[in-house]
Amino acid sequence: MLQPSEEIKSRLDIVDVIRDYIQLQAAGVNFRAKCPFHRENSPSFLVSPDKQIWHCFGCGKGGDIFTFVMEMEGLSFAEALRLLAPKAGVTLKRSDPALASQRNRLLDTMDQAVRYYQEMLARQPEAEVARKYLQKRGLDEDTQNEWQIGYSPDKWEELGDFLKKRGFSENEIFLAGLSVKSQDRPGFYDRFRGRIMFPIRDVNGNTVAFTARVRP
């Protein structure tokens, strides 16, 4: 049986969903628009009906229908789910809201971590060696964005602090596999440090784990 989010995705076309918000122009097999998330004169925002994803080559944002609606409306994953469900004719069951909301929280945690690592790869001076490494391996910026490749800074609590500021609890961060329990003091520290991060996505495009390359 499909998860509600999977069912919604299978029933909605990303092109229709995004068209409710911005004008799209056909560009080959894709659609193109001026990015709604940053100011630009020439359109670098692309929607792929084949892959059912969107990506802006200007500001680096991208994702699926859920991330688009989340960005556009400032919603959490669970809220975006509730917004899109009726459009897709999907009824969200209330049978196990605790479990469902826990799963959504974990997906949200992972989603934020992906963005954080991407941001670090793009902007941290420390990530220069990682950027060089990826370039040398032939993974240019477009490919890095498409695969949402990131970089975890060589610090102990950066990601944890980032996520906690966004309302995630230590336990949620731990359950998402992003932190490790400290042996010699109370608390947790970041699991991934100084590594190139590759998100592992489920069939639905949700990041469910990371593989971390050894230090570049």
Instruction: By CB under 5 A, tell whether 216 contacts Zn ion.
Output: no
Judged by CB under 5 A, the number of residues near Zn ion is 6
Instruction: By CB under 5 A, tell whether 142 contacts Zn ion.
Output: no
Burial 100-112 (b: 16+ CB within 10 A, else e): beebbbbbbbbbb
Please select the residue that binds Zn ion; options are 8, 17, 33, 35, rule is CB under 5 A: 35
Instruction: By CB under 5 A, tell whether 121 contacts Zn ion.
Output: no
CB-wise, 57 or 174, nearer to Zn ion? 57
CB-wise, 46 or 100, nearer to Zn ion? 46
DSSP string, 80-120: HHHHHHHHHT-PPP-S-HHHHHHHHHHHHHHHHHHHHHHHH
- Please count the CA atoms within 13 angstroms of the CA of 103 that sit on its side-chain side: 9
DSSP state of 139: -
Cα distances (Å, whole numbers) of residue 198 to 81, 115, 139, 144, 208: 25, 12, 12, 9, 11
CB-wise, 38 or 123, nearer to Zn ion? 38
Q: What is the maximum span of the chain, computed from C-alpha positions, in angstroms?
A: 58
Instruction: By CB under 5 A, tell whether 37 contacts Zn ion.
Output: yes
Instruction: Give the three-state DSSP class for 203.
Output: coil
Whether the CA torsion 201, 206, 208, 213 is positive or negative: it is: positive
Instruction: By CB under 5 A, tell whether 38 contacts Zn ion.
Output: yes
Instruction: By CB under 5 A, tell whether 59 contacts Zn ion.
Output: yes
CB-wise, 39 or 185, nearer to Zn ion? 39
**Sole window of 16-24, 54-62, 79-87, 194-202 interacting with Zn ion (rule: CB under 5 A):** 54-62
Question: Which 88-107 residues touch Zn ion, going by CB under 5 A?
Answer: none
Instruction: By CB under 5 A, tell whether 56 contacts Zn ion.
Output: yes
CB-wise, 38 or 181, nearer to Zn ion? 38
**Site for Zn ion, rule CB under 5 A:** 35, 37-38, 56, 58-59
